[in-house]
Structure formats: structure tokens, C-alpha cells
Amino acid sequence: MARSRRRRRNRGMERLKNLLILFLSLSALYLTLLALVPNRSSASPKALLEELISLFHPQQTQSVTPSVTQDQLSVAIRPVRMSVYDGSQRFALQYDTANVDKLYDSLGILLGEALASARPPTAITESQWQDALQSPGVWFDFLGCLPLETLCAWTGGGFYNELLTHSARQMAVALDRDGVKLYYHNEGDGLYYACKTSVAYEGHMDSLIAQYGSNGVSFVFELGESSGYRPLDPYVLIASGTLSPQIYRSSNPLAGLDSARVEEVQNSLSFQTSSYPIPDGIRIREGQETLDIRSNGTVTYTTADGTDSRYPVGGGDGYTATELVDITYRMAAATVGRYCGSARLYLMDIQQTDGAWEVRYGYCLNGCAVNLSDQDHAARFTVQGGQITDFTLCFRRYEDSGQTGTVLPERQAAAALEALDTQERELALCYWDNGGDTTQAGWAAR
């Protein structure tokens, strides 16, 4: 019995020794981590854990994907024009971002449902496309050319419809003899397509589109040959009222290369190294990667051929259009989008040339594209081999001046266009930014 008690007492002492050793080891580790944390008084257990992880995986502490919310992502793909037709009356909006957004918030669900449930597309004639626009339904114009798979994913909470391989700027969800269909104009081949969908008309779509009536807006093709709008694209919206577009104050957020602003841009692009001066700007070099920030508001990034970029996209060459849009828009929104004021970024297009992808974003003011004097984009990214290999960012800021301008009535603008060009062209309001301190709207033929 005495020998048994001694064994139990010895085992108890060994446990106490082990606990004491563990306690001392943890204390030593804690004190070491405190020495690693710059602000010791506010060091939380989470911060200490992150410091410990960074000792073994330092590359994981620096993110190259800027933080952008899903709401901010959804803004990148929103229509600038919409039309609702209930079977007898048309209600349409354009050049009015706030009210187009409200209309889309109410009716965008129809587009999301149509994209998610779309069957294989079938080519249709332009006459059938026009019939769809004059059937009960909703028409959307996104200003830029969008991959339908991306639009489906962003309107459907990440759901991909593998049948949607085309890109489109204009699309419609409209009633046909055998149900509701998704219609669109494919920018790639110039053809029109229709897809059967699972969207319910009775008790759902009909109730959503029945409340708008008419506001006197029509498509050009509905007005006839004698209307005076013959030289215009058939899908230009014509209103009866006179347009008085807003005037915006414009500026260069990088003028003077303020050190705090430059640091913000560096951090948003994951560059930490000190810069050195170059003509009209500064340069940052990290390995074979170069970031130039110039006082004219232009930021460019390049990496040497065969060198890994810090901006990976997907895995190898297996990335999707949606992955391209996701990471490039996040970068654009965290940089030029952060300082653009009253403007909004929109996806202009995605193009593939010689094995490389190019993704472009533009500025949009109240539903109108902004034409920059020396660039045709606010942000342009080149993606090759699963990584962003170069980009150009054009920083501009716009603020509502509280004033409005005047433009020619659309009929007069159409007549002037006919005198210059006999082909049908889209007549649209655009803002012209020549680098000055104000930006005004005018007519442009696209």
C-alpha cells in the first residue's frame, strides 16, 4: 500500500512539473511576441497570433486583392437605361442614375431569374428582337459590353449558368407565346438571341411591370420613317422633354503628388518600398515590378516578361471572365473609384488578343459615359498567364457644381448627324473631360 501511494505521489509531481514547464514555455512565447508587436499596450491575442503566423509565412500578411464589399461590386454592373412595357404603354428612363437605380432595384430580379434559368440560346432575327421590345417585359442597357456569365453570377449570388457564353450590352426579359424569354444582342457576332427561361409571368412578372404606365418615351424604331430620327440607331430612346444635363467640377486627385495620397495609392496596390523621383512623378521598383505615379493623375504598372506578378488571377490560364472582372474591378474601385466623387465606374468591355485579356473600365456621370482627353478608359488591365502583367489607371474626380447646361434638341442633333454620316449611329449624351476644372455634356455619335 505504501509503495502504491508513493507511485501515485510521484505521478502527481510529474504532472505538476509538466504543467509548470508548459506554463513557463507559454510565458516565454508571450513575452517574445510582445517584443514583436510595435504597440505593446494594445496587443490582442489575435494580433499576437497573426505575428506568430507571419514569422513562418510572411507573404500571407500582405493582401494583393483590395477590400471591396459585394454592394460595391454590384454597382459595377448596373444598367444606365431601362424600359418597361406592359403590352400597351412604355415607361423608360435614361440620364438619371438615381431613378434608374430605383427601377433596377424593383425589376432587376426578373433579369437575375432569367439569366439563372436560361436555356441554350437560339439565334433570332432583328425583327423578332424588336417584337420582343414591344411585348410585355423589361429592356436593359448596360452601356458597356458584359459577359453574361458575370452578370448572371453577380445578380444570382455567385450562380453560374454555363450556357451563357456570349457578351451583351442590351438585353430584355419579355413575354413570348410559349413563356418568358431572355433576349440579347451579342456584341461578338452582332446577332440577336433568345433563351427560354423559368420566369413566371402571371402573378409575378405581370404584377411587377403593370404599375408604371407611360412617360412619353419611345424607341426610334417605333416612331416611323417620317419622325426626323431616321439617321439614328433604332434603339435610341427619344423623350419629348428638353435635356439640361448637370455640369460637374473636375479635378486631378494626384495633382502635386501629396505624400499622404501617394501612400494611400501605394498601399491599395500593395507596394511598400520607398519611391524615387522621375520626370513629372515618382517610381517604385520591387524586383522586376515597376509602379509609376505621375502628377497628371496617371498610374502605370509593369512587370518584366517571365516574371511573376503580385496580382494573380485564377489558376494558370484556367480563369473565367467573372474572375477577371472580380479582381480587376476590386483594384479599380480601390484606386480610381475611391477618389472619383460623383462618378461611377462601369465595365466597358473584355477583349482577348494574342493570348492576353484586356479589361477596361470607364467613368460614368449620371448615366453618361465620360470621354477623357488622352485616354479612352479610367482603368485598363492586361491579364496573361493567370496574372495581371500591366495596368493603367487614370485618376479623375467629379463633383456636382449645382449648375446645368444646354444641348441641342435630339431632333436637331439627329439632323446634324445625318448631314455628317449617312449610316445609322447611336446618338447619346457624353461628358467631355479635357483635363480642365469643369466637365460638360454634349451629343456624341457612337
pLDDT digits (tens, 9 = 90+) for 280-307: 999 999 999 999 999 999 999 999 988 8
> For the chain, how are helix, strand and coil distributed in percent, rounded to 5?
35, 30, 35
Question: What integer best gives the mean pLDDT of the chain?
Answer: 85
**What does the pLDDT read at residue 412?**
87
Query: Does pLDDT of 316 surpass 60?
Result: no
The DSSP call for residue 232 is B
Identity (one letter) of the amino acid at 158? G
The pLDDT of 167-179, averaged and rounded, is 96
Query: Does pLDDT of 49 surpass 60?
Result: no
DSSP letter string, 268-317: HTT--SPPEEETTEEEEEETTEEEEEETTSEEEEEE-TTPPPS-B-SSTT
Enter the C-alpha cell of residue 44.
Answer: 490582442
CB atoms closer than 10 angstroms to residue 208: 15
**What does the pLDDT read at residue 159?**
81
The DSSP call for residue 434 is -
Query: Does pLDDT of 146 surpass 60?
Result: yes
More confident residue, 381 or 75: 381
The pLDDT of 372-382, averaged and rounded, is 89
The answer to whether 155 and 148 are in contact (CB under 8 A) is no
- Chain centroid to CA 374: 22
Which pTM value belongs to this model?
A: 0.82
Quickly state the pLDDT bin for 432 (edges 50, 70, 90). Answer: very high
CB atoms closer than 10 angstroms to residue 217: 18
Enter the C-alpha cell of residue 161.
Answer: 449558368
**What does the pLDDT read at residue 68?**
52
**Residue written as cell 417605333?**
222
**Residue written as cell 442597357?**
141
Burial of 238 (0-12, 13-18, 19+ CB in 10 A): buried
For residue 28, the surrounding DSSP H or E stretch is helix 2-36
CA nearest to 187, candidates 164, 168, 170? 168
**What does the pLDDT read at residue 50?**
40
The answer to whether 217 and 239 are in contact (CB under 8 A) is yes
Which residues are CB-neighbours of 435 under 8 A, at least 6 positions away?
252, 373, 374
CA nearest to 160, candidates 170, 175, 149? 149
Quickly state the pLDDT bin for 40 (edges 50, 70, 90). Answer: very low
Walk me through the domains of the chain, giving residue ranges and CATH numbers.
Answer: 76-216 (no CATH), 248-400 (3.30.310.160)
Quickly state the pLDDT bin for 219 (edges 50, 70, 90). Answer: very high
**What does the pLDDT read at residue 12?**
55
The pLDDT of 169-184, averaged and rounded, is 97
**Alpha-carbon span 81 to 70, nearest angstrom:** 22
Quickly state the pLDDT bin for 6 (edges 50, 70, 90). Answer: very low
Query: Does pLDDT of 17 surpass 80?
Result: no
CA nearest to 218, candidates 90, 121, 320, 132? 90
**What does the pLDDT read at residue 341?**
97
CA nearest to 170, candidates 210, 211, 133? 133
The DSSP call for residue 242 is P
Query: Does pLDDT of 57 surpass 70?
Result: no
**What does the pLDDT read at residue 292?**
97
